[in-house]
Structure 1
Amino acid sequence: MRYLLYAEQNYSYAILRPLQEAIRRRGDEAAWFLAGSEINHSYIHEDETKLENVRDVIAWRPDAVLVPGDHVPSFIPGIKVAIFHGFNVAKASRKESREHFNIRGYFDLYCTQGPNTTKGFEQLAKKYEFFSVRQTGWSALDPLFTNVASSTAKDNGKPTVLLCSTFTKKLSCAPLLVDAVRKMRDLDEWNWLVQFHPKMSPEIVAEYKALQNKNLTFVETDNVIPLLQQADLMICDTSSVMLMFLMQRKPVVTFRNQTREGNRKEHLINVTEAEKLHDTVTYALGYPAEQMSKIDEYIADTHPYTDGKSSERVLDGIDDFLEKDFGKLKRKPLNLIRNFKQRKKLGYWGL
C-alpha cells in the first residue's frame, strides 16, 4: 500500500508523523505532498520522502490520501481519508454546519476520534451515502500516550502552566491576558510555557516574547505534544488544543470560552474576568475530585483511547473500508468550482 500524507499547515506534521510510523511498521510506503504556501518545507526530515508537485503525486499513484484538513483535490489518485486537524470545540462564532460536521464532498472515509463525533458522521453518512465512517481515535495523540517528553520545564518543584490561544481575534484570550500573565509570572509561583497558533498576530507574539524571564518561556514549535506533557494545567480560550491537553486528565482553565450554547462545557473551568484567573488556576491545580470526574466523562465521550494505537486503527479502518465499502457507495459530488480553485492553487491543469 502507498499512503500520501497531504499537508497544508505546519500542524499537519505532528498529526501525520504517527501515521507514517505505523505505515513503515507495516512495511508499506508513505510520501509527503506539501500543498500551498503556508507550510514550512524545512520541517521535512532527511529520512522522509517528499513529492515535489502534483505530477509526481499522480505518477506515484497512492492508494490512500491521508488529510488532516478540510479539502483535498479529487484529481489526486487514491481514496481520500479525513483524519481531522483538531477536536470539535463547537465555536460559537461558527454554525455547526460550517465547522466539524461540514460535509464538503471530498472524502471517502472519515476516521473519527470518539463517540461524540462518530454518531454525527454516521448520521450524515446515511444521509449522503457517498462516504463511510470508522471510529479510530486521533493519530496526533499517539505520542501523547507513548512517548515520554524530554522536558524543558524547570526542575524547581513548581507547577507548570501552559498558555495557548487561537489566532481568531473574536476568540483569542492572548491579547486580553498580557497584563494578568505578567503579574502572575512575577509572583514566582509557577513555571510558564506560552505557545500560540502559527497564525497568531506578530504583535501579540512580540508582547509575550517580551515577557520571557526565568519563570516564563515562549515556545515556537510544529509539535505541541511535549508541551502538553510537561504542563500541569492549561490556560486557553476556545482552541481545540485545550481538548488535546484535557485527554491527559489534566484541568483546563478557559478565559471567556465561546463554545456554542447547547454543547458540553462542564469539563472546563471558565473565567470571564482576568482578576479571577490567579485564584481559579490555584484551585484547578489541586485537581479537585468533582472536576476530574467531569473530565473523565468528557474523555470517554470524546477520545476514549489511551493506548497510543490510533494510527494503527486508522490503517485498519482503511483496510476495512477497501474490503467492505469501496465501489459500493454513491459517487461523490463533482465539486467543479472547488476543484478549479485547487487546480489554480497547485498550478495543475492536467487530467
Structure 2
Amino acid sequence: MPKRYVFFTSLPYAYPIYRPLQEAIRAKGDEVAWYIEEGCPNLLTKDEVILETIDDVVQYNPLAIFGCGNTIYHFLPGIKVAVFHGYPILKRGETDVLRASHFRIRGWFDMYCTQGPSSTETFKLLESKHETFKVYETGWSKVDPYFKSEAHVSTKPTVLYATTFTKGITSAPVLVDTITKLVKEKPWNWRLTFHPKLDDQTVLDKYRKLADEHENVTFIDNVSTEDFQQADVMLCDSSSIILEFMLFNKPVVTYRNTKPGSHLLNTQNINEVENALEVAFTRPKELMKEVEAYSLFHEAHRDGRNCERILEAVDDFNINHRGRLKPKPLNLWRKFRLRNRLKYWK
C-alpha cells in the first residue's frame, strides 16, 4: 500500500519548497496531496491533488504532514515535519541564535529536517533540551533542482533584485530611485522579486511600473530556479534568499545587511550600490572563495538528494521514535486559538 503525505501550505513560497519533494514521493510510487490555508493562493497544476477541508485531510490519513512555516495544526493526523522556508541568516541581527525565529520551538513539530551545520548544531542542542522531537540533517528540499539544472550563461549582464519584508530592514522603499536610475543608464537586465509578505503596495506599484515601462526589467511574483540561473549578480538586503543565490556560485551585493561579512559586497549608502554591482560582475577571486565557504556552511548537501533524505528521515522517525518521545507542552491557549480561528472542534 502506498504511503501518503500532505503539504501544509500557508504562503506562495511553499510551492517551490514542496514540489521537489512531491517529485521524490511520486518517484517512490507513493501519494501526496496539498492542503492550502485560507488566504494563500491556489497555484496547483492539474496533476496536483488538493484536499479542500480539514476533514478531507483527516480522511486522507497521511503518514506525515510537511510544514515550511512556523505553525501546523496539531489535530491533523500524521508526523509533523518541519522543512523550513529559508536559512538561519539571523537577519534581525540576533547575537543569541536561540532567540532567532528560525530556532524557536513552538511545540508543533515532531521532527526537523535541517539544511546544514548552521542549523543542525543548534537544533541538536534543542533536541537534547526538549526531548519532544528529533532532528535530521537532510538538506533543504527546495534546492535539489539547483544542483540538477544546467548552467546558464547570460547574454547581457543581469541583476536579480530581491528583498526581505521586515520593516526597517527591507530595502524596497529606499532603493527604488537608485534602481530606476540604473535601469535607465546601465546596459543591464533586471529581474525584480519581492517577499510575499511585503505589503507596501505603493512601493510595489513603483517597481511594477518600472517593469511595464522598460524592456530590460521583468517583475517576478514567485522566483524560480530559472530566475537564479538567468542572473549574474543579486542585489538584496538581509533576506535568506541570498543563500539560495549563492548556491549557484554567484556574488551578492547587499544594502545595509544586518549580518555583513566577507561573503558579501555590503553597502551602507545608496551611492555605493552602482559601484558594488560593477565589482560583483567581475567575480573577484577572494570574494567567490568566501561565497563558497559561506554557502557550504548553510547548505551542506550538493548531490540533489535532499528530498530522498527527508523521506528516509520520516521513515526512520516512524519506525524508531514515533510515540517514544516526551509529550509536547499542552499549549492549551495556542491550540484553542487555532481551533477557534478555523471553527473546527472535532
When residues 58 and 175 of structure 1 are mapped into structure 2, their CA distance, relative to the original with a 3 A threshold, is same
Q: Deviations over 1:154-192 (max 9, x none)?
A: x6x321100011222211111111111112112232111
Equivalent pairs counted in the alignment come to 339
- The correspondence for 1:117, drawn from 116, 119, 124, is 119
- Could you state the TM-score of these two structures normalised by the residue count of structure 1? 0.92
Does residue 268 in structure 1 map to residue 255 in structure 2?
Answer: no
Question: What secondary structure is seen at the aligned counterpart in 1 of 2:274?
Answer: helix
Which residue in the other structure is 1:238 paired with?
A: 238
Distance in 1 of aligned mates of 2:230 and 2:326: 46
- The correspondence for 1:197, drawn from 179, 195, 208, is 195
1:112 CA displacement: 0.1
Q: Is the 8 A contact 1:188 1:215 kept in 2?
A: no
Tell me which moved more, 177-186 or 124-133: 177-186
Distance in 2 of aligned mates of 1:91 and 1:224: 22
Question: What secondary structure is seen at the aligned counterpart in 1 of 2:210?
Answer: coil
Which residue in the other structure is 1:160 paired with?
A: 158
Tell me which moved more, 125-134 or 187-196: 187-196
Does residue 211 in structure 1 map to residue 210 in structure 2?
Answer: yes
One-letter amino acid matched to 1:182? T
Distance in 1 of aligned mates of 2:206 and 2:289: 37
Q: Deviations over 1:211-251 (max 9, x none)?
A: 22122222223x43221121111000111111111111111
Distance in 2 of aligned mates of 1:3 and 1:80: 10
1:98 CA displacement: 4.3
Question: What secondary structure is seen at the aligned counterpart in 2 of 1:121?
Answer: helix
Distance in 1 of aligned mates of 2:324 and 2:60: 25
Distance in 1 of aligned mates of 2:311 and 2:335: 27
Q: Is the 8 A contact 2:164 2:195 kept in 1?
A: yes
Map 1:23-42 → 2, pairs under 5 A: 23-37=25-39, 39-41=40-42
Identity of aligned residues (%): 42
Question: What secondary structure is seen at the aligned counterpart in 2 of 1:214?
Answer: coil
Distance in 2 of aligned mates of 1:346 and 1:27: 33
1:323 CA displacement: 2.2
Distance in 2 of aligned mates of 1:10 and 1:310: 21
Map 1:1-351 → 2, pairs under 5 A: 1-37=3-39, 39-41=40-42, 43-92=43-92, 96=97, 97-148=99-150, 157-200=155-198, 201-212=200-211, 213-221=214-222, 223-259=223-259, 265-350=261-346
Q: Is the 8 A contact 1:54 1:346 kept in 2?
A: no
1:316 CA displacement: 0.9
5+ residue gaps, structure 2, are none
One-letter amino acid matched to 1:28? D
1:205 CA displacement: 1.0
- Could you state the TM-score of these two structures normalised by the residue count of structure 2? 0.94
1:341 CA displacement: 1.7
Distance in 2 of aligned mates of 1:162 and 1:322: 41
One-letter amino acid matched to 2:202? E
5+ residue gaps, structure 1, are none
Question: What secondary structure is seen at the aligned counterpart in 1 of 2:73?
Answer: coil
Q: Is the 8 A contact 1:65 1:80 kept in 2?
A: yes
Distance in 1 of aligned mates of 2:26 and 2:321: 25
Distance in 2 of aligned mates of 1:276 and 1:315: 45
Q: Is the 8 A contact 1:161 1:235 kept in 2?
A: yes
Question: What secondary structure is seen at the aligned counterpart in 2 of 1:211?
Answer: helix
Distance in 2 of aligned mates of 1:345 and 1:139: 30
1:93 CA displacement: 5.9
